[in-house]
Amino acid sequence: MTGETLIVVLPFLALILASLSVGGLWFWWNATKEQPPEEGYDSEKAASDEQSTDQDDPTIGQLFGKLSGMFQSAFSGPERSSGEAVASVSTPSLSPPSAVPVIEGEAVEVLRVLRDLADGRLIVEISGRRYYHLHEIADPQVRRRFLGNTQALARFARLEEGDQPPSESVPPVPAPPVSVPPVSSPAWSEPAQVQPAAGKEEAADDQPRTIADEIEELLQIRLARTPEMAQRSIHVRSTPDGGVRIEVDGAFFPGVSEVTDVEVREFIQATIREWEARQ
């Protein structure tokens, strides 16, 4: 017999044996109730002897009963343990998902601005391509986009000045009148200084310094501190197109890399690197 057949048959056998046991007990109880005490004692003794005999020599029914009890306990145990295991396992509480940061807007790179340490010129990189001059941008769409971005960058640079509150204007205090003594004879007076010259100087001072001017200032400081280069005439000038022009002892070069004197070229390149490190 297979295990599944035993599982089905054994409960029925156990039920039949239990019914027979109950019927036997009921029959025995009715039989002993009408006997005298001695007969009852004898019958009990005989029953005990029979029971001991049965225990010494168990019948097939008792064997089936024991087997059914063993199978029931064996099969009910794993089911109960598995049920307890299932009951003991608690469903993990699902924590609410963390809030995902919402990006309000996306930023894109429109251009890159680089500086050539060889000659100090600016290099504009758009979509992986580098341009050294505006006329090199042949694509009209790229050129229009570049000009729009530079205009926006110029407005961004002027934003700080526009946000500053205007300084409170203090009305000038009138000077007290000075009495001039009368002059008997005409005296020659010096011509008054021309005011527009001062205005031009102030306008020149108000103009922002270019990168070439800053490098020129640092270059002159380094020349003064270097005895072997102090007698050389070396200057860095800016050009209208945003580049630089190098002057070495009266000779002009379009860039640092074009300077023929190796010592002077390395000196200017070291000055540019020092200027970059200070930024």
**170 CA to centre of own chain:** 52
**In the structure encoding, which two tokens stand for residue 148, read together?**
């729009």
pLDDT single digits (tens) 111-158: 888 888 777 788 999 988 899 888 889 888 888 888 888 888 887 887
Q: Residue 272 has which token pair? A: 């540019």
Q: Is the pTM of this model over 0.75?
A: no
With b for 16 or more beta-carbon neighbours within 10 A and e for fewer, the 118-140 pattern comes to ebbbeebebeeeebeeeeebeee
Q: How high is the pLDDT of residue 65?
A: 64
Tens of pLDDT along 5-36? 778 788 888 889 888 888 888 888 877 765 55
What pLDDT is recorded for position 270? 92
Q: How confident is the model at residue 99 (pLDDT cuts 50, 70, 90)?
A: very low
- The domains of the chain are located at 3-82, 112-160, 209-278
Q: In sequence order, what are the beta bridge partners of 112? A: 125
Q: What is the pLDDT of residues 193-205, one digit of tens each?
A: 445 455 555 544 5
211 pLDDT exceeds 80?
yes
For residue 247, the SS3 value is strand
Strands 251-253 and 112-115: unpaired
